[in-house]
Amino acid sequence: MKNKNNIRFIQGNEACVEGAIYAGIDFFAGYPITPSTEIAEHLASRLPQKGGKFIQMEDEIASMGAIIGASLTGNKVMTATSGPGFSLKQEALGYACMAEIPCVIANVQRGGPSTGNPTHVSQGDVNQARWGTHGDHAIIALTASNHQDVFEMTITAFNMAETYRTPVILLLDEVIGHMREKVTIPETGKIPVVERLRTSVKKGVDYHPYLPREDGRLPMSDFGEEHRYNVTGLFHDMWGFPNNNPKVVGELLRHLVDKIENNVNDISRFKEYWLDDAEFILVSYGSSARSAIHLARNRRSRGVKIGVLELQTLWPFPSELVKEKCAGAKAVIVVEMNLGQIVTQVKNAVDNPHNVFLSNRIDGELITPTDIKSLLRVIQGKGV
């Protein structure tokens, strides 16, 4: 990349690829699935140009397995999929949580359940991103509503995967993935990139792959280097040896959850529009947030005190932030394209859950400003 701002007019999926390249991706494994396929297609061409590796695997599960294997040799890795593929990846995703392996999983959401509505938009996988894999765990899931943000959140996803040694889910949607928009790719170094934290423990000294430092981070050692250790999906001790001692089990699970939940403020990304005096607050994310922002701008011009809180980190859910931002609102409208996945979180977060309403659309069409306005008018007492 030349050291100049690079302005492009591209799909969201391509903005994601540009973000991954900027973040230093070395390895991608994937399987064709609409509407995420362009991520694989572009990386198939881009990765070998910089000496990286692309592989099309035999299925979604194998793609997830391959990126975990490649991460352990010291690579920055990613896979991309959509609903059905995301379902298939869940077991290996849980493995990456348990074994603390940095990786990024992009899920460009389409309508579900099952094969659903492959070429249409939905935000139905929000709860699956949180609870798709079995067992208690914590997860990071990020999203974006425009291509500049897709670019930046992809970099953030790679950064957080390295920082917290965990899988990070990039929850995009079909509208964002396929729409074309301007993206400015900044010069190298403008946006910070977090590199793999490698152990400074010397050869011959006992290295503990699962012993957190004081700051909570766990330095890694690449497969092939001097430290030979065991990686397993079983509960394990600080050496990576399987262990079902109740103390070890309890402490490891606590650690896996705490390292993320306790850092919710560092992990939270959001944007706010006209919130200072807002009586009505639209809470939204992804492509839905575009319609929310459009409506708020439009109503503002007519004197309605309305604002938008756009969430870019969905998990861990930023409850404190939502509570604080919505404290003065007469009504909070959550705008999302599902039957109410984030609205439940918002109701739990705010002081007065009775003032939280859902404006949604679940028919494969992008929710419009008019859709949101209809509900707003009812809440305002202006009739249907």
Partner 1 sequence: MTTQAFNFKDYIRPRFFPHIWCPGCGHGIVLGSLLRAVHELGLDKNEIVMTSGIGCSSRISGYVDFHSLHTIHGRALSFATGVKLSQPNLKAIVPMGDGDALAIGGNHFIHAARRNIDITAIVMNNRIYGMTGGQFSPLSGSGKKATTAPYTTIDRDFDVAELAKSAGATFVARSTVYHANECKDLIKKGITHKGFSVVEILTQCPTYYGRKNKEGDAIQMMEGYKTNTAKIGSKKLEKNPDLIQRGIFVKNTDVPEYCEAYDKIIKTAMKGKA
| Of 72-80, 156-164, 326-334, 357-365: span binding partner 1 (CB under 8 A) | 72-80
Produce one character per residue of 337-361: b if its CB has 16 or more CB atoms within 10 Å, e if not.
bbebbbbbbbbebbeeeebbbbbbb
- C-alpha distances (whole Å) from 312 to each of 11, 23, 56, 156, 217 are 19, 18, 29, 11, 23
Q: Evaluate whether 351 touches 137 at the Cβ level (below 8 Å).
A: no
154 is a contact residue toward partner 1 (CB under 8 A): no
Q: How far is the CB of 242 from partner 1 (least distance, A)?
A: 7
User: Between residues 93 and 326, which has the closer beta carbon with respect to partner 1?
Assistant: 93
Among 53, 217, 271, 300, binds partner 1 (CB under 8 A): 53
59 binds partner 1 (CB under 8 A): yes
Going by C-alpha positions, the residue among 224, 226, 225, 230 that lies closest to residue 209 is 230
DSSP category for residue 307: E
- In the bound state with partner 1, the residue whose beta carbon lies nearer, of 242 and 328, is 242
Q: CA 173, CA 165: separation in Å to the nearest integer?
A: 25
Tell me if 331 sits within 8 A of 280, measured CB to CB: yes
Among 3, 5, 45, 184, which residue interacts with partner 1 (rule: CB under 8 A)?
45
Under DSSP, the state recorded for 266 is: H
* 224 class by beta-carbon count within 10 Å (0-12 exposed, 13-18 middle, 19+ buried): exposed
Taking CB under 8 A as the rule, which mask of x and - marks residues 74-93 in contact with partner 1?
xx-x-------------xx-
Question: Is the Cβ of residue 195 or residue 266 nearer to partner 1 in the bound state?
Answer: 195
Residue 226 lies near partner 1 (rule: CB under 8 A): yes
- Binders in 253-312 for partner 1, by CB under 8 A: none
Choices 8-16, 51-59, 290-298, 304-312; region in contact with partner 1 by CB under 8 A: 51-59
68 contacts partner 1 (rule: CB under 8 A): yes
Among the listed residues 234, 327, 339, 378, the single contact to partner 1 using CB under 8 A: 234
- Letters for 9-38 (x = contact with partner 1 by CB under 8 A, - = none) are -----------------xx-x---------
DSSP 353: G
Q: Which residues contact 58 (CB under 8 A, 6 or more apart)?
A: 31
CB 293 within 8 A of CB 322: no
Chain residues that interact with partner 1, rule: CB under 8 A: 26-27, 29, 45, 48-49, 51, 53, 55, 57-59, 61-75, 77, 91-92, 95, 222-226, 228-234, 239, 241-242
